[in-house]
Structure 1
Amino acid sequence: MKRYCLTLDLIDDAQLIEQYKQYHQSVWPEIKQSIKASGIEDLEIYLLGNRLFMIMDVNENFSFEKKAATDLANAKVQEWEALMWKFQQALPNSKPGEKWQIMDQIFKLNT
């Protein structure tokens, strides 16, 4: 199993951050199904201030390219992504339209 760690910022507004947290307390079932169907075995999101940190454990069938293509064809995923983008903001070094950025691992205790 492979693990990816990604980061993204939320708009630095306490009310928006609270709304974002509430949405993630009851993620739409279609979104959870899409995540699982893509080969993501487990996914966690952490928040500190307005910085998000996501950990994804994926199986051998997962690829970012396949997930992106499948998401583009799924109207419910597109609706969710448009809604979430109201709360999110790209990191300063992001390319246009880029949201989550993959982080590089720089240390692991048990290798």
Structure 2
Amino acid sequence: MSVTRIASVMSVYKDQYEEYKRRHDELWPEMKAELKAHGVHNYSIFLDEASGRLFAYLEIESEEKWSKMSETAICRKWWDYMEPLMETNPDNSPVSTELKNVFYLA
């Protein structure tokens, strides 16, 4: 099975680093299940503490499958839960910039 690698950057408020990490350490089982159901095999988020920038890296089965994740009730609930901690759009989704892949070493 081939995977597609995607990455993006987001921002977390500097006074919310610990809470952001805690909430991800305690990721809801139903959110984890939905991510897996939408083709996520690996998902990492890294924090630049100096700036509050988050770097997210995912390996997914297909972009089509992944694109439907944002339509799920659990994803919307997660966005509402995370909204106080980070920069968000009017629908509470994280403000996110997709990154272009320019190098990969297998």
What is the TM-score with the length of structure 1 in the denominator? 0.76
Cα RMSD after superposing both structures: 2.1
Distance 2:84 2:78 in 1: 10
Question: 1:30–1:77: 8 Å Cα contact kept in structure 2?
Answer: no
Question: 2:70–2:76: 8 Å Cα contact kept in structure 1?
Answer: no
| Count of residue pairs brought into register by the alignment | 99
What is the TM-score with the length of structure 2 in the denominator? 0.79
Distance 2:14 2:25 in 1: 20
Secondary structure at the counterpart of residue 5 of structure 2: strand
**Residue 68 of structure 1 is aligned with which of 58, 67, 70?**
70
Structure 2 unaligned regions, length at least 5: none
Corresponding position: 1:104 with 2:100: yes
Question: 2:4–2:60: 8 Å Cα contact kept in structure 1?
Answer: yes
Distance 1:23 1:86 in 2: 12
Aligned position for 1:87: 85
Over the matched positions of the two proteins, sequence identity in percent amounts to: 22
The residue type equivalent to 1:86 in the other structure is P
Aligned position for 1:20: 20
